[in-house]
């Protein structure tokens, strides 16, 4: 789905900060950012990109069963994630590696999911409220909505203090727009006026199905039918993604009800390492989006602000070190204990899992030292 | 699982028109639906994190009136009339549980649970395991189930087996008002998801509720009639049918023991195996179709656990492996005392 006249863009394709009526509403959010914030945006995008490349390599080398690339979507993710405040809860789908990075999650947990050492990977309560990846499309939108209902029931929104009021942001893709769960989540969010942002990354492809098959209208326009204000943003513009999301989350936390954001972006890579996008999309289309690379655009902007080669070289070194560390720790990941199959099926003792765990231990020990 | 439910001080329930406040040895006569209502009221009074959510459960009190009066008493923030969407109900309950609430979801009818199936089996059941124990899911899903009410399609089904097959869920089903009152409170107190199957044909039948008593362990089965020659096992509304069959069998000279399962997952095999060791014969009865059923599971497991005690194969008396029929045929479809007695005769003939 093409950009519309309403698409919010703050950085032009060549990295120039836009002025004028369309941008004025959002520029105060950018003006409030310091140099360190902007450098952090860049750093998070670059390190995530390098992490993504390293993980794809690990997959090709047989160290991961599968990889889910995030390349191309870094600006939508980094901008929106930085828009969330510390007390906010973030519910990802499964491609939000940059969001995880922003929230300080040890992304080795993501590696563990795809290497086959865990179904979880991190504890949301110890990961700045970054919840677990959810693989069934759109399931997490209902969990996020229920969580936001809980915030409202707790009276922890609309107190007037944006540093106390809580909000939820939930991530999903264009394919989710056809799922019942997302539509039910939008209904519940509207009914209970939850403090919540629905953040759609429209990367234009649900595996091999183009967004044109999912919808006859720009996707953000659907939210109006649920009674939820919707807005479309250039998802390859990290500043616009930040500003629009900060505005939406702060409105939601202030009691204005849920908001819907469609970030237009593109999945530069395959859906997963098992996919072959050459079978369903053209190289010309891909190259059009490669030319809109969010990292290159933001680097141009930072250079116009006076950042020099030294900064970009430092970030590149940091990204290399990060990738090396991930590689080393990936290869050190062991096989999980068989106890893990049984220990958390239930929170409280259960005779079947206890008996099967004991049986398996006896069975394994029956092989003595030969096993 | 705690063996007993902690009860509030006697003054805790307020404004109750249907359930008297617990006092010493207070025995109240009430129908099963009112007993669930009283149990819900008690749980809500005990713990402000307990929420009810479902379709038409507010001013209407649910289509079976099980939640009647609770929204008036506890307010719309604790008794949520939800949009008409089962996946939405269960999915948002998961989020509320993550937030620290203890949601109790009402599914309006057994056959309407399937739009919520994915959220129950792929999300709710696996959430604690996915989080490696760092998140608990104290969610109760109440399901009015079963036949004998003459209703239209999708309103008389017994879908227990789908959920019993799913690790991470607990399934229970009360057969009496007393169990309904206590078991719903125990289910709410559980930190694991509990599917609570309410035998809707028993909703209007009165029985004693010991409001000052204590709860039996949630996942325990119970001998409800002693006998020496054949053991009958079942749950929910089938318990009444089994007791009728046992009475008729006694008149014909056969001594039948009846066990109320109460819990379908996990199953408490202790009383069942002890009974089979005494009688040598086991018949499992249910309204649900028999193929790949809870009845089949019990037959297989008791055969493993008590093979040398068995004098006959374990027999199953179940709904037929056909869609639940139009209501005029339900009495043919659902096992009655005569079909159980036929199985008793077959078992005794071995």
| A231-283 tens-digit pLDDT | 999 999 999 999 999 999 999 999 999 999 999 999 999 999 999 999 999 99
The pLDDT of residue A2? 54
pLDDT at res. A6: 85
> With pLDDT > 90 as the criterion, what percentage of chain B qualifies?
91
Average of per-residue pLDDT across A207-219: 95
Going by CATH, does the domain composed of B27-210 fall within 3.40.50.970? yes
Tell me, letter by letter, the H, E, C secondary structure of B51-70. Answer: EEEECCCCCCCCCCCCCCCH
Q: What is the pLDDT of residue A105?
A: 97
Q: Is the ipTM of this complex over 0.95?
A: yes
CA-CA-CA-CA dihedral for A109, A111, A113, A117, to nearest 10 = -90
Per-residue pLDDT band at A368 (split at 50, 70, 90): confident
pLDDT at B6: 39
Name the phi and psi angles at A347, rounded to 5: -80, -25
d(CA A18, CA A319): 30
| Residue B314 reports pLDDT greater than 50 | yes
Mutation site for A-interface testing, chosen from B83, B84, B88 by largest number of A Cβ within 10 Å: B88
Please count the CA atoms within 13 angstroms of the CA of B170 that sit on its side-chain side. 32
Short-list B221, B217, B236, B344, CA closest to B274: B221
Residues of A in contact with B3 (CB under 8 A): none
Asked if A155 reaches chain B (Cβ–Cβ under 8 Å), the answer is: no
Give the rounded percent of residues in chain A with a pLDDT score beyond 70.
98
pLDDT interval class at B1 (50, 70, 90): very low
Residue carrying structure tokens 């399937």: B114
Q: Write out pLDDT tens, residues B82-108.
A: 999 999 999 999 999 999 999 999 999
Average pLDDT of the residues in A317-327 = 98
Q: Do A353 and B167 touch (CB under 8 A)?
A: yes
Name which residue leads in pLDDT, A328 or A3: A328
**What are B280's two structure tokens?**
């040598």
Q: At which residue do the structure tokens 């893990």 appear?
A: A340
Separation of alpha carbons A173 and A186, rounded Å? 14
pLDDT band at B66 (very low <50, low <70, confident <90, very high): very high
Residues forming a β-bridge with B80: B53
CA dist list (Å): B302 to A352, B235, B282, B306: 14, 17, 9, 6
Domain B222-349 has CATH 3.40.50.920: yes
8 Å CB contact between B234 and B185: no
pLDDT tens digits, one per residue of B254-306 = 999 999 999 999 999 999 999 999 999 999 999 999 999 999 999 999 999 99
pLDDT at position A19, please? 87
Q: How far apart are CA A320 and CA A329, in angstroms?
A: 14
Please compute the mean of the pLDDT values over residues B28-56 and round it to a whole number. Answer: 98
Q: CB under 8 Å to B22, separation ≥6 — which residues? A: B7, B8, B10, B13, B42, B211, B212
Distance from CA of A218 to the nearest CA of B (A): 25
Which chain A residue lies closest to B191 (C-alpha atoms)?
Answer: A347
* Average pLDDT value for residue range B45-58: 98
So where are chain B's domains?
27-210, 222-349
DSSP-based three-state secondary structure for A272: coil
Kindly report the number of other CB atoms within 10 A of residue B302's CB atom. Answer: 23
Residue B17 has pLDDT above 50, yes or no: no
| Residues of B in Cβ contact (< 8 Å) with A131 | 98
pLDDT of residue A307: 96
Contact status, residue B65 vs residue B50, Cβ threshold 8 Å: no
CB contacts of A148 in chain B (<8 Å) are 95
Supply B23's token pair.
Answer: 């006092």
Give just the sign of the alpha carbon dihedral A164, A166, A171, A174: negative
Query: Is B131 one of the catalytic residues?
Result: no
Q: What is the 3-state secondary structure (H, E, C) of A183-222?
A: HHHHHHHHHHCCCEEEEEEECCEECCEEHHHHCCCCHHHH
Closest CA to A147 of B103, B87, B67, B193: B103
Q: Which whole number is the average pLDDT over B136-161?
A: 97
User: B250 by DSSP, 3-state: which?
Assistant: helix
The pLDDT confidence band at residue B23, using thresholds 50, 70 and 90, is low
Q: How many CB atoms lie within 10 A of CB A26?
A: 21
Question: A215 is written with which tokens?
Answer: 């919808």
Chain B within 8 Å of A146 (Cβ-Cβ)? yes
Q: Please, which pLDDT band fits residue B25 given cuts at 50, 70 and 90? A: low
What are the residue numbers of the active site of A? 267, 271, 280
Q: According to the 3-state scheme, what is the secondary structure of B284-304?
A: EEEEEECCCCHHHHHHHHHHH
Other C-beta atoms within 10 Å of B161: how many? Answer: 22
CA B161/CA B171 separation, integer angstroms: 10
Q: Fold match between B27-210 and B222-349?
A: yes
- Rounded to an integer, the average pLDDT of B27-50 is 98
The whole-angstrom distance between B284's CA and the closest CA on chain A is 20
Distance from CA of B241 to the nearest CA of A (A): 29
Write down the pLDDT at residue A349.
92
pLDDT at B20 over 90: no
Separation between Cα atoms, residue A79 and residue A29, nearest integer Å: 12
Please name the residues in contact with B29: beta carbons below 8 A apart, sequence gap of 6 or more: B206, B207, B208, B209
Q: What is the DSSP letter of A17?
A: B
Q: What is the mean pLDDT of residues A296-325?
A: 98
The DSSP secondary structure of A113-127, one letter per residue, reads: HHHTS-S--S-GGGT
* DSSP state string for A209-268: EEHHHH-SS-GGGGGGGGT--EEEEETT-HHHHHHHHHHHHHHIIIII--EEEEEE----
- Give pLDDT, residue A5: 67
Sole residue written with tokens 């929910």: B236
pLDDT at residue B11 tops 70: no
CB distance B170–A353 less than 8 Å? no
Cβ pairs bridging A and B (under 8 Å): 134
Asked whether the predicted pLDDT for residue B347 surpasses 60, the reply is yes
- Give CA angle at B310 (B306, B315), nearest 5°: 105
Using the 8-state DSSP alphabet, how is residue A180 labeled? H
Sequence-distant (≥ 6) Cβ neighbours of residue A144 within 8 angstroms: A89, A91, A131, A168, A169, A170, A185, A196, B95
Q: Which of A346, A355, A359 to mutate to test the interface with B (most CBs of B within 10 A)?
A: A346
Q: Which residues of A137-169 are buried (b: 16+ CB within 10 A; e: fewer)?
A: bbbbbbbbbbbbbbbbbeebbbeeeeeebbbbb
Q: Give the H or E element holding residue B316.
A: strand B315-319
Q: In the prediction, which pLDDT does B9 show?
A: 37
Identify the CA nearest to A357 among candidates B3, B167, B302, B121.
B167
Nearest to residue B116, comparing CAs of B62, B199, B37, B195?
B195
Cα–Cα distance, A128 to A85 (Å, whole number)? 10
Residue B69, pLDDT score: 98
pLDDT in tens, B155-182: 999 999 999 999 999 999 999 999 999 9
pLDDT at A370 over 50: yes
Q: What is the DSSP letter of A165?
A: -
Q: For A90-148, how does the pLDDT look when each residue is reduced to its tens digit (9 = 90+)?
A: 999 999 999 999 999 999 999 999 999 999 989 999 999 999 999 999 999 999 999 99
**What is chain B's mean pLDDT, rounded?**
94
pLDDT band, residue B5 (cuts 50/70/90): very low
> Among residues B270, B346, B280, B344, which one has the least CA distance to residue B308?
B280
Identify which of A333, A332, A324 has the alpha carbon closest to the alpha carbon of residue A54. A324
Distance from CA of A253 to the nearest CA of B (A): 16
CA distance B343 to B254: 12
Residues 6 or more apart in contact with residue A8 via CB below 8 angstroms: A22, A23, A26, A231, A232, A233, A234, A240, A243, A244
Identify which has the larger pLDDT, B25 or B204: B204
Exposed/middle/buried for residue B221 (C-beta within 10 Å: 0-12, 13-18, 19+):
buried
Q: What is the mean pLDDT of residues A152-170?
A: 96
Query: Cα(A115)–Cα(A331) distance, rounded to whole angstroms?
Result: 10
CA gap B224, B258 in Å, rounded: 6
Given A143, A185, A347, which is nearest B133 (Cβ)?
A347
Q: How far is CA A258 from the centre of its chain?
A: 19
């Amino acid at each position: 789905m093409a950009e519309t006249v309403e698409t919010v863009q703050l950085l032009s394709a060549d990295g120039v900060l836009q002025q004028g009526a369309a941008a004025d509403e959002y520029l105060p959010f950018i003006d409030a950012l310091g140099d360190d914030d902007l450098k952090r945006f860049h750093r998070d995008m670059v390190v995530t990109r390098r992490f993504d490349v390293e993980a794809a390599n690990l997959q090709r080398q047989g160290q991961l069963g599968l990889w889910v690339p995030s390349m191309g979507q870094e600006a939508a993710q980094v901008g929106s994630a930085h828009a969330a405040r510390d007390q906010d809860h973030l519910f990802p789908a499964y491609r939000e590696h940059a969001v995880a990075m922003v929230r300080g999650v040890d992304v080795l947990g993501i590696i563990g999911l795809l290497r086959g050492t865990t179904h979880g990977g991190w504890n949301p309560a110890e990961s700045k409220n970054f919840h677990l990846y959810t693989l069934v499309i759109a399931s997490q939108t209902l969990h996020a909505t229920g969580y936001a209902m809980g915030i409202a029931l707790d009276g922890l929104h609309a107190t007037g203090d944006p540093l106390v009021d809580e909000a939820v942001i939930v991530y999903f893709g264009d394919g989710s727009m056809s799922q019942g769960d997302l539509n039910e989540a939008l209904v519940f969010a509207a009914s209970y006026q939850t403090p919540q942002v629905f953040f759609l990354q429209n990367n234009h492809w649900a595996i091999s199905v183009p967004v044109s098959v999912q919808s006859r209208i720009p996707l953000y326009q659907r939210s109006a039918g649920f009674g939820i204000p919707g807005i479309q943003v250039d998802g390859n513009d990290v500043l616009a993604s930040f500003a629009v999301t900060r505005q939406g989350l702060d409105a939601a936390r202030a009691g204005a009800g849920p908001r819907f954001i469609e970030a237009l972006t593109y999945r530069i890579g395959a859906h997963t390492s098992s996919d072959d996008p050459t079978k369903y999309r053209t190289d010309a289309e891909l190259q059009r989006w490669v030319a809109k690379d969010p990292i290159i655009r933001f680097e141009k902007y930072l250079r116009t602000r006076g950042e020099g080669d030294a900064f970009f070289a430092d970030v590149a070194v940091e990204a290399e070190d990060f990738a090396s560390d991930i590689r080393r720790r990936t290869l050190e990941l062991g096989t999980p204990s068989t106890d893990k199959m049984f220990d958390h099926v239930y929170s409280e003792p259960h005779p079947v899992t206890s008996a099967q765990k004991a049986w398996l231990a006896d069975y394994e020990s029956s092989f003595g030292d030969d096993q | 699982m705690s063996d007993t439910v902690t009860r509030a001080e006697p003054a805790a329930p307020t404004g109750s028109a249907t359930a008297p406040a617990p006092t010493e040895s207070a025995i109240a006569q009430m129908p099963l639906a009112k007993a669930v209502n009283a149990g819900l009221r008690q749980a809500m009074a005990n713990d402000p994190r307990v929420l009810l959510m479902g379709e038409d459960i507010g001013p209407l009190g649910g289509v079976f009136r099980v939640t009647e009066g609770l929204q008036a008493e506890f307010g719309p923030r604790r008794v949520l009339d939800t949009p008409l969407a089962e996946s939405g109900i269960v999915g948002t309950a998961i989020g509320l549980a993550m937030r620290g609430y203890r949601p109790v979801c009402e599914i309006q009818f057994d056959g309407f649970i399937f739009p919520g199936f994915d959220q129950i089996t792929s999300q709710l059941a696996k959430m604690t395991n996915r989080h490696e124990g760092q998140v608990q899911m104290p969610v109760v899903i109440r399901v009015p189930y079963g036949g004998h009410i003459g209703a239209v399609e999708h309103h008389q089904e017994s879908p227990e087996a789908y959920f019993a097959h799913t690790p991470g869920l607990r399934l229970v089903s009360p057969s009496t008002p007393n169990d309904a009152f206590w078991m719903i409170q125990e289910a709410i107190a559980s930190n694991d998801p509990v599917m609570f199957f309410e035998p809707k044909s028993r909703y209007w039948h009165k029985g004693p509720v010991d409001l000052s008593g204590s709860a039996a362990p949630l996942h325990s089965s119970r001998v409800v009639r002693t006998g020496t020659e054949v053991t009958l096992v079942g749950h929910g509304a089938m318990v009444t049918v089994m007791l009728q069959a046992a009475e008729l069998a006694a008149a014909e000279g056969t001594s039948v023991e009846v066990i109320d399962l109460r819990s379908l997952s996990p199953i408490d095999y202790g009383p069942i195996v002890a009974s089979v060791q005494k009688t040598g014969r086991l018949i499992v009865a249910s309204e649900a179709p028999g193929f790949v059923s809870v009845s089949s599971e019990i037959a297989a497991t008791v055969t493993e656990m008590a093979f040398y005690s068995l004098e006959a194969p374990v027999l199953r008396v179940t709904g037929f492996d056909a869609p639940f029929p139009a209501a005029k045929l339900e009495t043919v479809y659902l096992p009655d005392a005569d079909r159980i007695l036929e199985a008793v005769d077959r078992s005794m003939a071995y």
